[in-house]
Amino acid sequence: MKLGAAQHKAPAAWRLATVEVAAAEVRFTYGLDKDKLRAVRRREGRYLLRTNLSESDPVKLWNLYLQLVAVEEAFRNLKGDLAIRPIFHQEKTRIEAHIFISFLAYCLHVSLGCRARNLAPGLTPRSVLDKFAAVQMIDVHVPTTDRRELVMTRYTQPEPELQLLLDKLNLELPAQPPPRISAVNAIPASLV
């Protein structure tokens, strides 16, 4: 069981080891397969791409591989960072709308990544979104004496770390929206 756990924990190193377990006794012997180790060291830092494409130019094959990596990363972002999960629509128009909104979200995600790479190197779109999650939008409802309600939508002021990020990305939070007066939730006259 311990050997199986070691194999599961370090599969790359396990391939270089030779392990022999004695059938009749409770002991084992191990060694390092030096030929395999030499072969691994010769291939270090190199990619081996297998393909069924008939293209003979390795540069074109490499570019196709990089495109595949970009597409796979896009799907990872859609499922992870953007939290887009399967939604089961019944109508074609809703399916198309869902795909369109998902695509727009992905475009914004990529744009944020490019902007962060240029203006704040080292930050990923995920880390930028995590920092922006600290800003919250709230509605403050204040009843008035004439049975109406004053609604003030406000966002919290950014912490110094977020303000630094806003400055680095050349972004500004919008002005606080003006208050609205509503009669929808009017206070009954019997309570005044």
What mean pLDDT comes out for the span 22-27? 81
With 70 as the cut, is the pLDDT of residue 110 above it? yes
Q: What pLDDT is stored for residue 190 in this prediction?
A: 54
Phi-psi sector, 74: left (phi>0), alpha (psi -120 to 50), beta: alpha
With 60 as the cut, is the pLDDT of residue 19 above it? yes
For residue 137, list its beta bridge partners. Answer: 155
With 70 as the cut, is the pLDDT of residue 146 above it? yes
What mean pLDDT comes out for the span 52-73? 84
With 80 as the cut, is the pLDDT of residue 186 above it? no
**For 83-99, what is each residue's pLDDT tens digit?**
666 777 788 898 888 88
With 70 as the cut, is the pLDDT of residue 23 above it? yes
DSSP letter for each residue of 113-176: HHHHHHHSTT--HHHHHHHHTT--EEEEEEE-TTS-EEEEEEEPPPPHHHHHHHHHTT--PPPP
